[in-house]
Amino acid sequence: MKNEFAVLPKWLINLFLWIGLSAGIAVRMLMILNRWYPPAAVFVWRFAMASYFIFFLYRYIIGRRRRRIVVQHQLIENIRAAEGLDQTTRDGTIYILRSIVRSKELFNYAFICILSLIALLLDFFA
């Protein structure tokens, strides 16, 4: 059985970080490349969209996993009822957990991921 609380290896987390950063840099290079060397802009755009797809799919999976763990294990309720926690620790932890459950980040990540994939598919097949 997989450990639902296992954190990805640091090298993999860093890889996704660099994929996201590379996509962000690529998107910002597009205007310059389009003006000075348009053929390169096409490849940089495709790289950026593919990288955005990968990065935001990763963020979606991680966000969904966090939300599921908070809800399934009733972490908010358990922290509220926990003995021996000072009020600041309790309030801070509940704030963090509630923000994970209420956040609209999953919608944002899925939206960007899907739009990036659609853009790539349209580029290759339209």
Look at residue 48 and tell me if it is in a domain: yes
Look at residue 3 and tell me if it is in a domain: no
Please say if the pLDDT value at position 16 is more than 70.
yes
Look at residue 21 and tell me if it is in a domain: yes
Can you give the pTM of this predicted structure?
0.89
Are 73 and 91 spatial neighbours (Cβ–Cβ below 8 Å)?
no
Q: Which residues contact 96 (CB under 8 A, 6 or more apart)?
A: none
Look at residue 53 and tell me if it is in a domain: yes
Look at residue 4 and tell me if it is in a domain: no
Domains: count for the chain: 1
Look at residue 26 and tell me if it is in a domain: yes
CA dihedral of residues 96, 97, 101, 106 (deg, nearest 10): 60
Look at residue 2 and tell me if it is in a domain: no
What is the model's pLDDT at position 92? 97
Percent of the chain at pLDDT exceeding 70: 99
- Average pLDDT of the chain? 95
Question: Which residue carries 């599921």 as its tokens?
Answer: 68
Are 49 and 67 spatial neighbours (Cβ–Cβ below 8 Å)?
no
- Tell me which residue range forms the domain holding 37: 10-125
Residue 83, CB-side half-sphere exposure with 13 Å CA sphere: 0
